[in-house]
Amino acid sequence: MAGGSFPDFVEQVSLIDHHVHGAFHADGDEARFQNSLNEGNTEPLATPEDTYNTQIGLAIRRWCSGILDLPRHTSPADYWSRRSELGELEVCRRMTRAAGVSDWLIDTGLDAADYLGTAGMADVSAGRTHEIVRLERVAESVLREIANPADYVDAFGQRLHELTRSAVGVKTVLAYRAGFDQDLSRPSRAAVVEAARRWQENACAGIHPKLTDVTLIAHGIHTAVSRKLPLQFHVGFGDRDLDLHKTNPLYLLDFLRSPEVRDTPIMLLHCYPFEREAGYLAHAFENVYIDVGLAVNFTGSRSRALVARSFELAPFTKILYSSDALGPAELHYLGARLWRNAITKVVGGWIDDDDCSEADARKIVQLVAQDNARRVYALPSALHRGATVDR
């Protein structure tokens, strides 16, 4: 850890990306790439080229161009041309390796054939991968498979047990499915069976609806809680299907106060624009952790201010790094690149202002970059980045 300046240290520290998805592996058209630069819109974009007129568009042209051997601020047309020439998989290889990420914790809840899975991501990135299991997906698949709703509770528990033998954590998308302004107390077995019966009734004619029933979602959450696995909550910024104001994490207060939850790490993901509220929860509850992934990519040059806000009430032992990247591997790289830029300015600024010593600053960076994630998810020791990560 000695040697080199603080900016060098930030440049070289390996990251654990504790919430990410698979990258594209097969070539696609420009519209697919452009649409991937809009997180919010769930429909085909009328003017996809407008997605370059954004913070993320500027950031890609600034930071990703060099990885593709292009000059900074290259035009969108030249960028797309070079990207096509290299092919999706080569872009992916370059971007994921340039990210300096030792471990990717992959939410496989979206693993359509379009996205690399854990094995593919490990291979292309030369990093380690670990699985995060999405609770609602498990629930939906068990509901489809069982003949009798009375079997649901046991079947769900059994399936989760099997899946989390190798997985390092679970995730809930309650934010998308129902919002947080709900009763999240543990439902009774009878209530869960009744909810399973209702779901199956609605799933007639082979159409399986998305799971939006709060009883079933709360049951999934409490089943995970009883196993004390790190439990990720999507919080805040996401696509427009979500009622953003209902994903204020303060609505989770009653849930967090319940004694059975206190030994389960609760990971609040993304959080924008509720990062102050999330930081408060990380301050007030010893089992709550936060990150500002996803929003870092989409706010581009403004992510410095966002990262700064995440360092208010949350203890430094409770802040993690994530990209929440999905699709074009520019997102896997940019998350790390913008985080390093922000940390250099924010934490480096504390050194400059003598708010902390440089040794303190390095320790803080080390915690957020990897130590906190390794501890919470019980991951094996870091690769020595210089030796094993190809840059």
Q: Which residues bind its own copies (CB under 8 A)?
A: 38-41, 45-47, 50-51, 53-55, 58-59, 61-62, 72-73, 237, 239-240, 243-245, 248, 250-251, 253, 256-257, 272-273, 276-277, 280, 283-286, 298-302, 305, 308-309, 311-313, 315-317, 350, 353-357, 360, 364, 367
- Give one DSSP letter per residue of 34-100, joined into a string: HHTT-SS--S--SSGGGGGSSHHHHHIIIIITGGGT--TT--HHHHHHHHHHH-HHHHHHHHHHHTT
Closest distance to its own copies from the beta carbon of 45 (Å)? 7
| CA-wise closest residue to 249 among 308, 296, 181, 185 | 181
- Which CB sits closer to its own copies, 115 or 251? 251
Q: Give me the sheet containing 128-134, strands edge to edge.
A: 15-20, 101-107, 128-134, 169-172, 231-235, 266-270, 288-290
Closest distance to its own copies from the beta carbon of 58 (Å)? 5
Helix (H, G, I), strand (E, B) or coil at 173: coil
Closest distance to its own copies from the beta carbon of 204 (Å)? 26
Closest distance to its own copies from the beta carbon of 81 (Å)? 18
Closest distance to its own copies from the beta carbon of 102 (Å)? 22
**Are the CB atoms for 287 and 230 separated by under 8 Å?**
no
- Which CB sits closer to its own copies, 26 or 305? 305
- Which CB sits closer to its own copies, 231 or 278? 278
- Which CB sits closer to its own copies, 198 or 246? 246
**Are the CB atoms for 24 and 380 separated by under 8 Å?**
no
- Which CB sits closer to its own copies, 121 or 368? 368
Closest distance to its own copies from the beta carbon of 197 (Å)? 29
Closest distance to its own copies from the beta carbon of 296 (Å)? 11
Helix (H, G, I), strand (E, B) or coil at 13: coil
Burial 20-56, CB ≥16 within 10 A → b, else e: bbbbbbeebeeeebbbbbbbeeeeeeeebeebbeeeb
Distance of CA 292 to the CA centre of its chain: 9
- Which CB sits closer to its own copies, 28 or 315? 315
**Cα separation, 146 vs 158, whole angstroms:** 12
- Give one DSSP letter per residue of 211-234, joined into a string: ---HHHHHHHHHHHHHTT--EEEE
- Which CB sits closer to its own copies, 219 or 309? 309
- Which CB sits closer to its own copies, 51 or 223? 51
Closest distance to its own copies from the beta carbon of 240 (Å)? 4
**Cα separation, 358 vs 369, whole angstroms:** 16
